Every structure is written in structure tokens, then in C-alpha cells.
């Protein structure tokens, strides 16, 4: 198989940290299997979406990590053998990423090193260095029912300045029936976008959390609910620890995605900031009072999203248009402060030897409109900012969603080729409008509305080319990128080089 009321903020944060730490100490002895596919591998994500487009796995693929149970149909050798060579190759890579290949579970070492002269401003689904040196090492234990990983490291400048200890990627996951319960510093990505997610992405470091998801995404068997089709539910409660104005803010997330029609995925998400220093802590009131107006004052900070993604095969080409909408704290349809993301991805075979290609065009816009599609009425700085929580929807200085923060627009064009040996080649163009004149003017006056990436408006054109080379238990990644301008206050353009080396048993 490859698978409450009146809780003090400090006690909530301490409980979360103790829960995550306690989970990391647990182990079990069963047949080995990894619990999920993680955020960070563009190529594996492309493989998963290709398999979903061909109907080999359930099509709820916009909530990451992707659990092993959802990928269990790939063990049907007869069904896989009947597919074209490039689909069989994609299934083999996903299978290899989920399995260890040993009969008994044992501890395995792991290490990841990423180095760059300048960390990228635009962060997509792939793993990128968060500083000039991003180094981690640890051990992991994988079995059928339980998985544990301890991954410790440091993110720092080459001169040692701004060094930060990180447990990013450490977790424990346990399978109970059809559920995966997890705890730790788990990277998540909610949304159909390849370059950006407005709601929850890997732009910020993962924060400590505990949560659960379905391991098997099969549909309900009852006539009343079977129309929903395959579905996924992911719930978590986390602690936004570290330096903040409102320390130990709690973040909860609830995401429901489903396939009501073949190829169509719909997702509903609500993320809520609550509790923390300077705030009353009434979780039930915060969670069940989504309105926020003078008659229904909400003491939380909410981000709500709705998404649509459709995948369809036209000949051998998988076509997947998608949209994502994010409402900030109000709405849902009037005074919604809505941000937008839309795009399309196409994928197909490259020759007859198992290679494939994918091209993606995407546009993200965090210049929020007062109401849905009311583009004549802008809500300056409302995306990711909040008067009650001065740090906004951010963690350790980065937005939890769109990497360019509030009042920004990003056009991305990307191409990815996977050859018959599994090497991945990519080229990307970004046109980024970071910040706006209106927000910069407000930000200059010391308002709670601001953009963390650039204090002034700047237009950046960036080109990137890269390659990922799998070498048995090693994976090497190299990229070079050039841009004509940089975020304020850095002057002029920039050429950056980034290299990564990963060892996983």
C-alpha cells in the first residue's frame, strides 16, 4: 500500500506546542508507507494532476498535502498498464515518492541544503530558499499507520546575520480509519494556482499546528450525499508564535473540496485568526459569527475563499482552467473586499517515450474590490490587513497567502518539461506590480494598512530557468533568475542563482 469558551490565549498556545511536541515523540511498527505527498515538488504536483485528469485518482487535488489513501488506486497494475507511456511514468514517480521500499520500518536520515545569493520575491508551489542559506537535517520513521519526522535547521545570511532556528517539516501523522491526524510544522497549499494561492501557501514558514484530513477521498455511499462525489475535508488549529504585536494568535482553518461532476472541483475555505494578546478568547463566538458589521461585530480576522477548477481531456491534452476568490473579513457578496486569481494549465505527452510537458498562465490580483467584480470600487490595503490584528494575515513577516502581499498584481507564464529519465526543466516569466500608490501613501502615514514586500510601488519583470535532477536518493535543483527591478528600497536589477540538494532515503 502506498499508499470553548473563555480559554486564555497563553493556554491555547501552550497546549498547541505541547500537543505537537508530544505527537513527534510517538512511533509505531507496521509496514512502511509515507502519509502524503508534500508541498514543494512542482513535478510531482504535475504528475498528480495528470493522473487525476485521466481518471486514475479522485480529482480533489487542490488541497495539499495529498494523502496516500487518495493515491491507493495507483496500485491497480492492470489499470495503469493500459495507459499511455507518459501517464505510466507519472504514476511510477508518484508511487516512488510515497514508498520507502523496505519490509520493516526503521529510522532514515534526511538532509536538505538550499543556497542562493538572494531569496526570490515571488514564491510559487516549489521549494525555495527563505534566506541565503536554508539548511535542514533530521530523521524520519515511516510505517503504514504512523509517520514521524524530526527536521531541524537554520535559515540565515551567509555572514550569519538574521539566523533563525527552524523545525519546518517536522511532524507526526497517525491514521485512524479513514482519517489522518497530524501535528507539527506541516507545509500546506490551498488552491488551484501554480504560482500563487490567495489563502494558504508556502510563502510563509509553516507554523505549529494540529489537524486532520481524510485519507481516502471516496464519495458518500448514501443517495442523499453521493452527488457530492469524491471529497476532502481538512481542519487545523495552529499557533502563530514568534514576534507579533498580538502574540500567540491562534489560526484555525477549515477547507472542504469536492467533485460534484467529473473533472469539476469546488472548494470552500475559511481561515480565522482569534485569541492572542490584547484579544478576548471566545472560540465558539469567533467561529460561528462570520458576519462583521456594526450590528454583528466580529472579534476575529477571517479569510474566506471559494474556488472552481475544471479538468478535461481534449485528445491527449489535459486542459484545466481555474479561479479562486478570497473575501476579507466580511461579505460574502456585498462589502466582501474580494481578491482574485485565475489561470489555466495544459499538459500532454512529449513524444512516445514517457516524457510530458505542462504550460501554465496565471494572474493574481490582491487589489481588493469593495464588492464581487465591482472593479470601480477599490478597498485599498484590505487584503491581508486587519485593524484588530495589526500583524494581519501573516506569519513571521510574510503573508500566509499571496507572496506579493496586499494591493499587488502578478502575471506568470510557466513551462515545465519532464523527460523520460525524470529530469524536470522549467522556464518562467513573471510580471509583478508590487504595492500601489494609494496603499503606499497610506502606509507612509503609519496606518495598519501596508505591504511587507515593498514600501513603494514597483514593477518587476523577472525571467527564470531551472532544472531538477533526481539521482536515486538524492535530488539536485538549480535555477538562475534575472529581474529588471527589485522591491524598494533595493536599487536596480538583480541576477540570482539558487541551488538545492536533498537527501531522502
Residue 448 lies in a domain: no
Per-residue buried b or exposed e for 108-136, using 16+ beta carbons within 10 Å of the residue's own CB: bebebbbbbebbbbbbbbbbbbbbbbbbb
SS3 470: strand
Give me the residue label for grid cell 508541498. Answer: 39
Residue 269 lies in a domain: yes
Residue 446 lies in a domain: no
Is 365:339 a contact under the CB 8 Å cutoff? yes
Residue 505 lies in a domain: no
Residue 79 lies in a domain: yes
Residue 291 lies in a domain: yes
Rounded Cα–Cα distance for residues 70 and 57 (Å): 7
Per-residue pLDDT of the chain (505 residues; tens, 9 = 90+): 333 333 344 444 444 443 444 443 333 333 357 899 999 999 999 999 999 999 999 999 999 999 999 999 998 888 999 999 999 999 999 998 988 666 667 788 999 999 999 999 999 999 999 999 999 999 999 887 899 999 999 999 998 888 899 999 999 999 998 999 999 999 999 999 999 999 999 999 999 999 999 999 999 999 899 999 999 999 999 999 989 999 999 999 999 999 999 999 999 999 999 998 888 887 776 666 665 555 556 678 889 999 999 999 999 999 999 999 999 866 666 778 999 999 999 999 999 999 999 999 999 999 999 888 887 788 899 999 988 899 999 999 999 999 999 999 999 999 999 999 999 999 999 999 999 999 999 888 778 899 999 999 999 999 999 999 998 789 999 999 999 999 998 889 999 999 999 998 7
Give how many domains the chain has, as a whole number: 1
Q: In sequence order, which residues have a C-beta less than 8 Å from that of residue 99 and are 6 or more positions away?
A: 2, 3, 32, 33, 34
Residue 88 lies in a domain: yes
Residue 3 lies in a domain: no
Is 424:418 a contact under the CB 8 Å cutoff? yes
User: 248: domain CATH number?
Assistant: 2.40.160.130
Write out the residue range of the structural domain in which residue 22 sits: 9-110+119-367+374-406
- For the entire predicted model, the pTM comes to 0.90
Rounded Cα–Cα distance for residues 379 and 386 (Å): 12
Amino acid at each position: 500500500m502506498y499508499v470553548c469558551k473563555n480559554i486564555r490565549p497563553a493556554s491555547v498556545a501552550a497546549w498547541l506546542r505541547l500537543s505537537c511536541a508530544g505527537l513527534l515523540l510517538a512511533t509505531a511498527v507496521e509496514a512502511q508507507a509515507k502519509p502524503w505527498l508534500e508541498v514543494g515538488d512542482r513535478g510531482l504536483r504535475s504528475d498528480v494532476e495528470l493522473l487525476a485528469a485521466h481518471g486514475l485518482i479522485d480529482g480533489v487535488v487542490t488541497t495539499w498535502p495529498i494523502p496516500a489513501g487518495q493515491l491507493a488506486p495507483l496500485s491497480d497494475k492492470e489499470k495503469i498498464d493500459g495507459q499511455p507511456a507518459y501517464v505510466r511514468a507519472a504514476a511510477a514517480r508518484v508511487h516512488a515518492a510515497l514508498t520507502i521500499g523496505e519490509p520493516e520500518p526503521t529510522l532514515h536520515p534526511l538532509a536538505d541544503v538550499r543556497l542562493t545569493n538572494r531569496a526570490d520575491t515571488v514564491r510559487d508551489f516549489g521549494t525555495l530558499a527563505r534566506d541565503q542559506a536554508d539548511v535542514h537535517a533530521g530523521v524520519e520513521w515511516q510505517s503504514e499507520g504512523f509517520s514521524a519526522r524530526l527536521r531541524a535547521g537554520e535559515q540565515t545570511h551567509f555572514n550569519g546575520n538574521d539566523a533563525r532556528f527552524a523545525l519546518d517539516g517536522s511532524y507526526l501523522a497517525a491514521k485512524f480509519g479513514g482519517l489522518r491526524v497530524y501535528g507539527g510544522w506541516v507545509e500546506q497549499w490551498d488552491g488551484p494556482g501554480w504560482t500563487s494561492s490567495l489563502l494558504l501557501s508556502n510563502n510563509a514558514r509553516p507554523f505549529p499546528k494540529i489537524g486532520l484530513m481524510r485519507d481516502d477521498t471516496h464519495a458518500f455511499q448514501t443517495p442523499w450525499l453521493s452527488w457530492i462525489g469524491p471529497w476532502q475535508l481538512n481542519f487545523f488549529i495552529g499557533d502563530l508564535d514568534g514576534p507579533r504585536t498580538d502574540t500567540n494568535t491562534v489560526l484555525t482553518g477549515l477547507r472542504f473540496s469536492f467533485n460534484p461532476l467529473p473533472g469539476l472541483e469546488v472548494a470552500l475555505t475559511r481561515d480565522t485568526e482569534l485569541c492572542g494578546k490584547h484579544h478576548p478568547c471566545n472560540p465558539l463566538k469567533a467561529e460561528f459569527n462570520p458576519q462583521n458589521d456594526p450590528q454583528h461585530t466580529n472579534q476575529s480576522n477571517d479569510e474566506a475563499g471559494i474556488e472552481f477548477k475544471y479538468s478535461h481531456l481534449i485528445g491527449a491534452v489535459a486542459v484545466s482552467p481555474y479561479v479562486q476568490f478570497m473575501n476579507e473579513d466580511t461579505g460574502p457578496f456585498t462589502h466582501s473586499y474580494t481578491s482574485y486569481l485565475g489561470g489555466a494549465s495544459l499538459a500532454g505527452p512529449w513524444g512516445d517515450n514517457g516524457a510530458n510537458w505542462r504550460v501554465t498562465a496565471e494572474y493574481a490580483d490582491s487589489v481588493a474590490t469593495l464588492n464581487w467584480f465591482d472593479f470601480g470600487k477599490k478597498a485599498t490595503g484590505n487584503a491581508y490587513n486587519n485593524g484588530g490584528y495589526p500583524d494581519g494575515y501573516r506569519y513571521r513577516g510574510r503573508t500566509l497567502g499571496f507572496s506579493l502581499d496586499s494591493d499587488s498584481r502578478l502575471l506568470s507564464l510557466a513551462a515545465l518539461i519532464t523527460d523520460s529519465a525524470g529530469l524536470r526543466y522549467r522556464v518562467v516569466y513573471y510580471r509583478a506590480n508590487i504595492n500601489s500608490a494609494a496603499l503606499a501613501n497610506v502606509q507612509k502615514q503609519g496606518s495598519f494598512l501596508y505591504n511587507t514586500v515593498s514600501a513603494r510601488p514597483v514593477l518587476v519583470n523577472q525571467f527564470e530557468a531551472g532544472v531538477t535532477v533526481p539521482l536515486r536518493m538524492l535530488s539536485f535543483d538549480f535555477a538562475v533568475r534575472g529581474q529588471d527591478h527589485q522591491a524598494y528600497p533595493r536599487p536596480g536589477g538583480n541576477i540570482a542563482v539558487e541551488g538545492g540538494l536533498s537527501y531522502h532515503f
